[in-house]
Amino acid sequence: MMMKFHCGEIEARRRAQSIRALGLDVDGVLSDGRLYFTSAGEEMKAFHAHDGHGLKMLREAGVEVAIITSRASPIVERRCSDLGIRHLYQGAADKLAAMEDFLQLAGLQAGQFGFVGDDLMDLPVLGAAGLACSVPNGHEDVRKRVHLVTSLPGGGGAVREITDFLLRSQCAVPQAAK
């Protein structure tokens, strides 16, 4: 199965060439969206190693990464720390405001920002982003309004699919991956 391009593949690649930062939701994008709790009330999440490596390669290519999520979790802090992601917006009830704050800090315009979201609260950011992406397990109304939908599900390599797409579109694929 391949990515679905709602604006056409050529247009999506053109948009991807301008991206200097990628923002990500967590639940349903970096994870599969399921929330696990231990009997002690501790939260658990599973992340895909390929996604993490893709994000590291993206950062090495000069594309900044930001996490913008409405939930707050120490697990997400740990994952960001492990991946060297410095821009973390947790408990962001207004994700568009978080995006605008990030863009101001990074000195970027909205057209240089890509975002991956899966649910209705992501729509304002997706509508403002230069490249809007979702996952096949995302809400139907979100999937209809983005530029591309990955073939792999959230938490199952979807982020790597997007990072590879960005790197190839920008001709920045590491030698070993060519």
Domain with residue 112: its CATH number is 3.40.50.1000
Identify residue 31 by its one-letter amino acid code. S
Per-residue buried b or exposed e for 142-160, using 16+ beta carbons within 10 Å of the residue's own CB: bbebbbbbbebbbbbbbbb
pLDDT at 175: 47
Residue 114 domain-assigned? yes
pLDDT at 129: 98
Distances (CA, A) of 45 to 48, 98, 113: 10, 23, 26
Confidence bin at 2 (pLDDT 50/70/90): confident
On the question of pLDDT at 42 being above 90, the answer is: no
Please give, one letter per residue, the 3-state secondary structure of 84-131: CCCEEECCCCCHHHHHHHHHHHHCCCHHHEEEECCCHHHHHHHHHCCE
pLDDT at 8: 82
pLDDT at 75: 94
Residue 135 domain-assigned? yes
The answer, as to whether pTM is greater than 0.85, is yes
Burial label for 113, CB within 10 Å (0-12, 13-18, 19+), is: buried
Q: Which helix (H) or strand (E) holds 132?
A: strand 131-134
Where is average pLDDT lowest: 38-47, 78-87, 95-104? 38-47
Average pLDDT, the chain: 94
Residue 177 domain-assigned? no
pLDDT tens track for 62-90: 999 999 999 999 999 999 999 999 999 99
pLDDT tens track for 104-134: 999 999 999 999 999 999 999 999 999 999 9
CA dihedral angle for residue 21, residue 27, residue 28, residue 30, rounded to 10 degrees? 50
Q: How far apart are CA 7 and CA 154, in angstroms?
A: 21
**By residue range, what is the domain housing residue 165?**
4-172
Q: How many domains does the chain have?
A: 1
% of the chain at pLDDT higher than 90: 87
On the question of pLDDT at 178 being above 50, the answer is: no
Residue 178 domain-assigned? no
